[in-house]
């Protein structure tokens, strides 16, 4: 909660969400949203809802205040979704890490000119460099190469179109284009994480399943139930599904994510002496004309055998809004507090 509060205050954000989980088994180690109500005073409205206390809208804003954005709210994930595009292309064999691409700063898809965040272009680059640079034209190219049928096949295989089954109430569903209505432009924007919406818990769960060797896990807080009368303890079990991707794809993905942090756009999450992998994201919210952004970073550690996944999402930060600049350092601080104790 401290890191979420820090990001909220420093960036004067609308809200901040953080998820920390074990990607091997789905155990949720932490989940925080800020601003957050006091659970000891659940009927006391907090800012900015407190202005409606005592009015006929009070109940509506109490329900809004009680929402858990990590589970109940959807958002456009932006470039963190490039992890899914990468996994699909690696699994299908349509891209290799040394394949070359050219980025002039944009790419034409039908009559649309879709720009890269680096408007002057990245020039010639390998796929590995493309993910380090978070280059939109590279991911549009591999998304179009996959095509709608194969891309949607992996959406389903990876579990993106189903709810995660987290043991918390109010989980929202992924909002995705119907397959038959997806053309080249829609496919292009989906490939770099825009024009559709998912929940933070869905993104964290899907990426966990892709970096753990291909086992789709169920996120959960509950570990066991103790009978208050008999004292008997019942261990809880959760569904898992193996084979959503190959170990080879998972290993290559982990390598690429580590390069993003060591040499690419996620370098502000780097911690000397630790293997951290991750992906930055900066997505523009609707309506685009309002110029509001969501900055985020998803990280894993140790990259070679992940035991912790951290997702940081900052909604509508003021000033600098790039995920690699403002969300990655928050993740770094969380990793700094966790990693020294992992094996103790």
Given a cut of 90, whether residue 286 has pLDDT beyond it is: no
Mean pLDDT computed over every residue of the chain:
95
Work out the percent of the chain whose per-residue pLDDT is above 90: 87
pLDDT tens for 228-271 read: 999 999 999 999 999 999 999 999 999 999 999 999 999 999 99
pLDDT in tens, 74-113: 999 999 999 999 999 999 999 999 999 999 999 999 999 9
Q: How far apart are alpha carbons 328 and 266 in whole angstroms?
A: 6
What pLDDT shows up at residue 287? 78
Is 6 part of any domain? yes
Domain membership of residue 210 (yes or no) is yes
Whether 305 maps to a domain, the answer reads yes
Here the CATH number for the domain that contains residue 136 is 3.40.710.10
Write out the residue range of the structural domain in which residue 234 sits. Answer: 2-35+72-341
What tokens appear for 196 in the block? 């559709």
Q: Is residue 323 part of a domain?
A: yes
pLDDT by residue (tens digit) across 132-167? 999 999 999 999 999 999 999 999 999 999 999 999
**Dist. CA 101–CA 260, nearest whole Å:** 17
pLDDT of residue 344: 53
Residue 184 lies in a domain: yes
Residues 254, 304 contacting (CB under 8 angstroms): yes
> Between these two residues, 294 and 38, which has the higher pLDDT value?
294
Assigned domain for 64 exists: no
Give mean pLDDT, residues 21-32: 97
Q: Catalytic residue at 304?
A: no
User: Tell me, what's the pLDDT at 246?
Assistant: 97
**Per-residue pLDDT tens digits for 196-208:** 999 999 999 999 9
Question: Given a cut of 80, is residue 326 above it in pLDDT?
Answer: yes
Q: Which pLDDT does position 132 carry in this prediction?
A: 97
Total number of domains constituting the chain: 1
Tell how many helices (H) and how many strands (E) occur in the chain.
10, 11
**Burial (0-12, 13-18, 19+ Cβ within 10 Å), 59:** exposed
- Residue 108 in any domain: the answer is yes
Domain membership of residue 299 (yes or no) is yes
- Choice among 17, 47, 72, 79 that is catalytic: 79
Q: How confident is the model at residue 1 (pLDDT cuts 50, 70, 90)?
A: low
Which stretch of DSSP H or E encloses residue 11? helix 2-11
């Amino acid at each position: 909660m401290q890191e979420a509060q820090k990001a909220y205050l420093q960036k004067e954000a609308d809200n901040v969400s953080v998820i920390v989980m074990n990607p091997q088994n789905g155990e949720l180690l932490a989940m925080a949203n800020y601003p957050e109500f006091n659970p000891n005073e659940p009927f006391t409205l907090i800012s900015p809802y407190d202005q409606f206390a005592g009015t006929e809208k009070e109940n509506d804003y109490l329900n809004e205040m009680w929402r858990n954005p990590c589970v109940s709210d959807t958002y456009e994930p932006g470039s963190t979704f490039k992890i899914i595009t990468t996994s699909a292309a690696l699994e299908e064999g349509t891209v290799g890490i040394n394949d070359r691409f050219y980025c002039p700063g944009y790419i034409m898809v039908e009559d649309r000119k879709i720009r890269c965040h680096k408007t002057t272009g990245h020039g010639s680059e390998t796929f590995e460099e493309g993910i380090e640079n978070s280059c939109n034209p590279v991911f549009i190219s591999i998304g179009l190469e996959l095509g709608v049928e194969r891309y949607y096949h992996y959406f389903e295989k990876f579990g993106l179109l189903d709810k995660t089954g987290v043991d918390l109430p109010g989980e929202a569903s992924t909002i995705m284009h119907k397959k038959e209505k997806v053309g080249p432009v829609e496919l292009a924007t989906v490939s770099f994480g825009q024009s559709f919406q998912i929940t933070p818990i869905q993104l964290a769960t899907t990426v966990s399943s892709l970096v753990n060797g291909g086992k789709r896990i169920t996120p959960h807080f509950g570990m066991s139930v103790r009978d208050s009368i008999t004292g008997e303890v019942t261990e809880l079990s959760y569904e898992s599904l193996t084979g959503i991707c190959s170990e080879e794809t998972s290993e290559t993905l982990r390598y690429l994510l580590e390069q993003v942090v060591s040499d690419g756009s996620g370098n502000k999450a780097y911690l000397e002496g630790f293997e951290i992998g991750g992906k930055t994201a900066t997505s523009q919210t609707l309506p685009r004309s309002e110029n509001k952004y969501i900055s985020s970073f998803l990280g894993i550690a140790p990259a070679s055998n992940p035991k912790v996944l951290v997702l940081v999402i900052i909604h509508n930060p003021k000033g600098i809004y790039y995920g690699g600049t403002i969300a990655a350092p928050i993740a770094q601080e969380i990793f700094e507090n966790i990693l020294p104790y992992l094996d103790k």
